Each structure stands twice: as structure tokens, then as C-alpha cells.
Amino acid sequence: MQMSRALLEKLYNIGVISSQESLAKLAGGEKRISVSWFCRRRLATVLVKLKYCERLKQAVTFIEKGHVRVGPETITDPAYLVTRNMENFITWVDESKIKRKVLAYNDQLDDYDVMA
């Protein structure tokens, strides 16, 4: 029972499952855990889901060129697994031209940022 609870908690924290149900419910039927559940937690897929990009290929390009960071760390691997907690800390890198364009579009670009 303890191992089952630990596994359910781990899957929930990663974001693979939406609630901490019993393992018996996840083992069979419609809610079967598959590889695609883990693929949905990849950084490129999460960027598309959060509307940072329109297409998956565009998200992969931005990640590989170093425009995206998760927390304080710049990520260049599109297969990086994003946990449920880290999803809130996905942003553009400070030096990124994409961030500058987004800020300019939203009229939030500071005069100091324009000079830099």
C-alpha cells in the first residue's frame, strides 16, 4: 500500500495523472497509463499547451536555440520533462529577442530595455 501511494504521488507530481486514484483504476480500462501521457509532459508540448508557440516544431526550435528557461535554468533539450510544479516557472530567457517582442507588443517594454 505504501509503495502504491508513493507511485501515485510521483505520477501526480510529474503531471501524468490528474488525480491520485487507485492503481487498479489506472491499470485497466480507459485510463490506462501509456507513453503518450509522458510525452505530453515534454517541454515542447507544454509550450504549445500554454500558448507560447503555435506549433510543436516552432517550440522545438525555440528550445534548441536557448530561448526558454524553466526556473533559473536555460533548457536546450525539447524532451525535458516538466513537472506539475515547474510548469508555472516556464519563461523566456531575459536576453531573448522573443521576450523583447512580446513585451513590446503588450506595451510593457521599459525604456532601459530598449537601450540595452
Residue 20 CA to residue 10 CA, distance in Å, equals 10
Which letter does DSSP use for residue 93 in this model?
-
pLDDT by residue (tens digit) across 16-38? 777 777 666 666 655 677 788 88
Domains annotated on the chain, with CATH = 1-39 (no CATH), 41-116 (3.10.290.10)
Using only C-alpha atoms, the chain has a radius of gyration, in whole angstroms, of 18
pTM of the model: 0.77
pLDDT at 46: 94
Phi, psi of 54 (to 5 degrees): -90, -35
- End-to-end distance of the chain based on CA atoms, in angstroms? 57
pLDDT by residue (tens digit) across 36-67? 888 889 999 999 999 999 999 999 999 999 99
The three grid cell numbers given for residue 63, joined into one nine-digit string? 528550445
In 3D space, the residue among 38, 9, 39 whose CA is nearest the CA of residue 21 turns out to be: 9
